[in-house]
Structure 1
Amino acid sequence: MASFCWIRPLQVGHGIRRSFQSRALLCTPKTRHPQKPLLFLPTHHRRSPSTPPSPRFTSSSTIPIPPDPPGDLDEAAQSIRCGLRDFKHDKWGWVIYRCSYGDDEAWTRFQRIINDRSRKDMAGRGFPPDLANSLEWTFVSDRASLDGASKEQLRSYFRAWVAEAEKVEQPRATVENGRDATKAQRYSFFIEVDEEALRSVADADLDNPFDEGWVNIVRCGEWDLGPEAREEERKRENIPVEDVEGDGDEGWMRISSHMVGPDFYDAIGYLPQDWYPFYRQPPGLVYW
Structure 2
Amino acid sequence: MLFRHSIFSHISAVLPQRCLPRSSPTSVRKITSKAQDQQTRSMLDDYKNIDAFLSDKFSKKRGLSWGFSIYRCSYKDESAWSRLLQHLREKIESDLECNQRMDLLSHHQLVINDDIEKLNGATSHDIRDHFSAWVTDQLPQIVASPKVLENLQSDDNNGQGPQYFLGPRYNFCLFVDDFCLESLELFKNSLCGPVVKILSRPWGNLTPREREYKIHPEWHDGETDDELEMVEWMYIPIHSYVQWFDTLEVPSNWEAFYVRPPMMIDECSVVNVEEERLASLHRKS
TM-score (structure 1 length as normaliser): 0.63
1:265 aligns with 2:235: no
Return the alpha-carbon distance in structure 2 between the equivalents of residues 15 and 126 of structure 1. 36
Paired residues of 2:73 and 2:120 also in contact (CA < 8 A): yes
1:147 aligns with 2:117: no
Cα RMSD (Å) of the superposition?
3.8
**Secondary structure at the residue paired with 2:53?**
helix
Tell me by how many angstroms 1:15 deviates.
5.4
Q: CA deviation at 1:148?
A: 0.5
Distance 2:236 2:194 in 1: 9
- Matched position secondary structure for 2:118: helix
**How far apart, CA to CA, are the structure 2 residues paired with 1:18 and 1:197?**
24
Count of aligned positions: 222
Q: Tell me, yes or no, if structure 1 residue 123 matches structure 2 residue 97.
A: yes
Q: In structure 2, how many angstroms separate the alpha carbons of the residues matched to 1:268 and 1:79? A: 9
**What's the % identity of the aligned pairs?**
24
- Map of 2:137 onto structure 1: 164
Q: Are the aligned partners of 1:96 and 1:140 in contact in 2 as well (CA < 8 Å)? A: yes
- What is the rounded CA distance, in whole Å, between the counterparts of 1:15 and 1:209 in structure 2? 29
Within 5 A, what are the aligned runs for 1:177-192? 181=163, 183=165, 184-192=167-175
Residue of structure 1 aligned with 2:68, choices 88, 94, 114: 94
- Which residues of structure 1 form unaligned runs of 5+? 1-10, 25-40, 46-69, 232-240
CA distance, structure 2, for counterparts of residue 189 and residue 284 of structure 1: 19
Q: Which residue of 2 aligns with 1:213?
A: 194
The Cα offsets for residues 19-54 of structure 1, whole Å up to 9 and x where unpaired, read as: 996438xxxxxxxxxxxxxxxx62448xxxxxxxxx
Quote how far apart the aligned CAs of 1:91 are: 1.1
One-letter amino acid of the structure 2 residue matched with residue 257 of structure 1: I
Q: Take 2:124 and 2:206, find their aligned partners in 1: how far apart are those partners?
A: 11
Give the counterpart of 1:81 among 51, 56, 61. Answer: 51
More helix by share: 2
Displacement, 1:257? 1.9
The alpha-carbon distance between structure 1 residues 264 and 110, as it changes in their structure 2 partners (threshold 3 A), is: same
> Is the aligned partner of 1:112 residue 2:82?
no
> Cα 1:91–1:220, aligned 2, differ >3 Å: closer, same or farther?
same
Retained in 2: the 8 A contact 1:100–1:193? Answer: yes
- 2:258 and 2:73 mapped to 1: Cα distance? 22
TM-score scaled to structure 2, two decimals?
A: 0.64
- Would the aligned equivalents of 1:44 and 1:267 in 2 still touch at CA under 8 Å? no
Counterpart residue type for residue 140 of structure 1:
N
Q: In the alignment, what sits opposite 2:280? A: none
Unaligned runs of 5+ in 2: 19-36, 213-221, 268-285
1:284 pairs with 2:257: no
Task: Assess if the C-alpha contact under 8 Å between 1:200 and 1:212 holds in 2.
Answer: yes
- Whether the 8 Å CA contact 2:128–2:205 is kept in 1: the answer is no
Higher share of residues assigned strand: 1
Whole-angstrom CA distance in 2 between matches of 1:270 and 1:197:
26
Q: Could you tell me how far 1:277 is from its partner in structure 2?
A: 2.6
